[in-house]
Amino acid sequence: MSFLLPGPRPSLALMFCGPHETNEWSPRYHRVDHAIAIARETRSPLVIVGDAFDGRDVEHFAMRAASRGTRAIGAFDPGSRTLTDVRGALRLIGSTAEFDVVADILVVTDDWHAPRCLAMLFGERRVLLPDREIRFHDRSTDAGPRPPAWVKEGELRGIADYHAGRAYRPFGPPFGKPHHPTESASSSF
């Protein structure tokens, strides 16, 4: 069975799991509900990527989408970084035959996270799917928690680090995600 419905420009919605209320399991639904609405409006499949709570958030949000009549595919990556989520999403898209015709990807994340996420999607698409013509469209939401200024500064520095090929150097622990003290915060993007 195909996720894609006939139409002139097949698209898919791509949601990056977002912040939790605390570092414990306490999901927020603003991103997934926004992504479900976009998928339904555009009659597109929904791909959900994330890296927290051993994939529980990805599975939970995919079940929420299904309960609202939206088919979703989850992609969990234990790398706990936006870059590993981006790579996982693009690998899934590149290895799923029915997505070969997808030309537009509607990216759902929070507005403060979108610039870094989109920069990585553009850059990694050139590496992982070099023969694919894909346009990324920012469909971010501003309904979620507002991070402190240092998080926004870290997002901007993350874009510069990514383009320079440097490891991401955040100003602090990930916003709204469990912090694992054994991981080096500057070990990847």
8 A C-beta contact, residue 37 and residue 128: no
| Residue 23 within a domain | yes
pLDDT in tens, 69-94: 998 988 877 777 888 889 999 999 99
pLDDT score, position 185:
39
Task: Show the domain range for 72.
Answer: 11-164
CA quadruple 22, 27, 31, 35: dihedral, nearest 10: 160
* Domain presence at residue 174: no
Q: Which residue type sits at 51?
A: D
Question: DSSP assignment of 173-187, as one string?
Answer: SPTTS---TTS-TTS
Asked if the model's pLDDT at residue 24 lies above 60, the reply is no
Q: What is the pLDDT of residue 180?
A: 43
Whether the predicted pLDDT of 179 surpasses 50: no
Number of domains in the chain: 1
Question: Per-residue b/e over 39-52, b at no fewer than 16 CB within 10 Å?
Answer: beebebbbbbbbbb
Contact 108, 141 (CB under 8 A): yes
Number of H helices, E strands in the chain: 5, 5
Residue 35 in any domain: the answer is yes
Residue 183 in domain: no
CA distance 150 to 59: 30
Is 116 or 169 the better-scoring residue by pLDDT? 116
Average pLDDT along the chain: 80
For residue 89, being part of any structural domain is answered with yes
Instruction: Output the domain CATH number for residue 73.
Output: 3.40.50
Does the pLDDT value for residue 128 go beyond 90? yes
Cα radius of gyration rounded to whole Å, the chain:
16
Q: How far apart are CA 17 and CA 142, in angstroms?
A: 14
Is residue 170 pLDDT above 70, yes or no?
no
